[in-house]
A = this chain, B = another copy of it.
Amino acid sequence: MSTKNQHQDRSPCPLASALDIVGDHWTLLIIRDLMFMGRHEYKEMLEAWEGISSNILSNRLEKLTSSQMIDSVPHPESKRRKLYYLTEKGKSLLPVIAELTIWGFAQKKSNKVPPHLKELLTGSRTKLTKKVLNSLTKWEKTYL
């Protein structure tokens, strides 16, 4: 439950500030799950990718919630489950994640991307932004 972050407010540089919030190995992957992969539950995120540790996931969800990047509601089908989703602030990271993803793909062509996200790596930024934000809005209309 440590809320202390060694790098908080390290600098008046906006890049450093951004890295204080999202500059670790896991935070952006969690946001990616919420943004692109349709994974909104703790368990789904745990099972996804390469296996984040449960304590790290818990810690990052807590930090993201307290910095108001994400929020959660109880799952309609179960009281113990939660549905996490991106706030507007969290959604505003879309351009960052898009550029990082495009860059990562350019560096390592062996990477795989689900077909419905292929266009993220090739199409125009504005088109991608619209598509993603639309899909998030759709989800919100169903669950919020």
Decide yes or no whether A79 CB sits under 8 A from chain B.
no
Residue among A92, A98, A104 with most chain B CB within 10 A: A104
Decide yes or no whether A105 CB sits under 8 A from chain B.
yes
Asked if A121 contacts B28 (CB within 8 A), the reply is: no
Interface of A is mostly: helix
Q: Number of contact residues on A: which range applies?
A: 35 or more
A interface list, Cβ under 8 A from B: 7, 10-25, 28-29, 32, 49-50, 89, 92-93, 95-108, 110-113, 121
CB A101 to nearest CB in B, in angstroms, measures 5
Asked if A101 contacts B14 (CB within 8 A), the reply is: yes
Q: How far is the CA of A50 from the CA of B95 in the complex (A)?
A: 27
Q: Which of B7, B97, B100, B111 contacts A25 (CB 8 A)?
A: B7
Asked if B14 contacts A50 (CB within 8 A), the reply is: no
What residues of B have a CB within 8 angstroms of the CB of A19 in the complex?
Answer: 25, 28-29, 100, 104
What residues of B have a CB within 8 angstroms of the CB of A32 in the complex?
Answer: 13, 15
Can you list 26 A-B contacts (CB < 8 A)? A7-B25, A10-B49, A11-B49, A11-B50, A12-B110, A14-B108, A14-B111, A14-B121, A15-B104, A16-B49, A16-B104, A17-B104, A17-B105, A18-B103, A18-B104, A20-B25, A21-B104, A23-B23, A23-B24, A23-B25, A89-B107, A92-B103, A95-B102, A95-B103, A96-B103, A98-B99
